[in-house]
């Protein structure tokens, strides 16, 4: 590399695709920056806290602000990463159950039953003596608790890392993005609008502090001000319900 490319001290110089360098007079130092999709890597941080702050500002000047996920589907896709190791990044299944091709909706025709199961996980279902989960009339028989490995409870009060609104977001992602339920179809449009759309009043209620356990009695209303019928999720594992 010719010395002439480094004459302009204090300016980013692109030395490759997504690779930049910036020359500093102090310590005769060159800082490297590798920019990727949604993240970047800074090589060297300069000499002290003040210089580090200056460098952070310089990095921000050439990198876009990260996109912030919003709405149930956006947040759910972001939070699903930990689930993908068992269920597959596209819901194709593996150690955990398959979600794709409508499988998750066959198991949970009612979203409330899926929310309860994801919140508490298989261990608490077993402790509570609940032998199956989801649709008891599922073709081929209901899914038995812990019949395919152990699924940890994801809800905060069950030892998981997700808030109640994040549990709903993950379930929405599993049902619509991975499971393939059509939010515009007669079968799913009402559920989607109430639970999983960007304007979901139920998601808004959870974000505001209503718990999943208390949701059925929270008086959540739809866009027209009509009460939304919600099956009780409760504060403990319970058997699922059939379609209808």
Interval 29-39: pLDDT, tens: 888 889 887 78
Q: Is the pLDDT of residue 6 over 50?
A: no
CB 23 within 8 A of CB 30: yes
Range of the domain at 28: 3-60
pLDDT band for 3, please (50, 70, 90 cuts).
Answer: very low
> Tokens 């800082």 — which residue?
31
Residues 9 and 78 in one domain: no
Residues 76 and 127 in one domain: yes
Residues 154 and 191 in one domain: yes
Please check whether residue 28 lies inside any domain of the structure.
Answer: yes
The enclosing domain of 76 has a CATH number of: 1.10.760
Residues 56 and 157 in one domain: no
3-state helix, strand, coil in the chain (%, to 5): 40, 15, 50
Closest by CA to 95, choosing from 136, 152, 162, is: 152
Q: Tell me the per-residue pLDDT of 205-225, one tens digit each, with 9 for 90 and over.
A: 999 999 999 999 999 999 999
Please check whether residue 233 lies inside any domain of the structure.
Answer: no
How many structural domains are present in the chain? 2
CA-based torsion, 145, 148, 154, 158: positive or negative = positive
What does the pLDDT average to over 8-36? Answer: 83
Q: Is the pLDDT of residue 5 over 80?
A: no
Residue 66: half-sphere exposure toward Cβ, Cα within 13 Å:
10
What residues contact residue 77 under an 8 Å CB cut-off, 6+ apart?
A: 69, 173, 177
CA distance 212 to 164: 6
The pLDDT value recorded for residue 27 is 72
């Amino acid at each position: 590399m010719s010395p002439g490319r480094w004459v302009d001290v204090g300016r980013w110089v692109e030395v490759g695709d997504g690779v930049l360098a910036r020359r500093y007079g102090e310590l005769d130092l060159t800082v490297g920056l590798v920019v990727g999709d949604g993240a970047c890597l800074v090589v060297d941080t300069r000499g002290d806290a003040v210089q580090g702050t200056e460098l952070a500002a310089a990095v921000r000047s050439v990198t876009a602000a990260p996109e912030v996920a919003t709405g149930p589907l956006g947040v759910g896709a972001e939070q699903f990463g930990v689930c993908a190791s068992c269920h597959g990044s596209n819901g194709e299944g593996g150690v955990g159950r398959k979600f794709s091709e409508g499988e998750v909706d066959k198991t949970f025709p009612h979203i409330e039953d899926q929310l309860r199961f994801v919140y508490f996980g298989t261990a608490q279902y077993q402790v509570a003596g609940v032998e199956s989960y989801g649709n008891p009339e599922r073709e081929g028989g209901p899914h038995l608790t812990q019949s395919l490995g152990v699924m940890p409870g994801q809800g905060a009060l069950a030892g998981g890392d997700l808030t109640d609104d994040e549990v709903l977001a993950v379930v929405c992602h599993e049902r619509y993005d991975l499971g393939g339920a059509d939010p515009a179809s007669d079968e799913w449009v009402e559920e989607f609008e109430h639970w999983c759309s960007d304007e979901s009043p139920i998601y808004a209620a959870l974000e505001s502090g209503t718990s999943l356990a208390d949701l059925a009695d929270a008086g959540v209303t739809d866009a027209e001000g009509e009460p939304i019928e919600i099956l009780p999720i409760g504060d403990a594992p319970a058997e699922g319900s059939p379609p209808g």
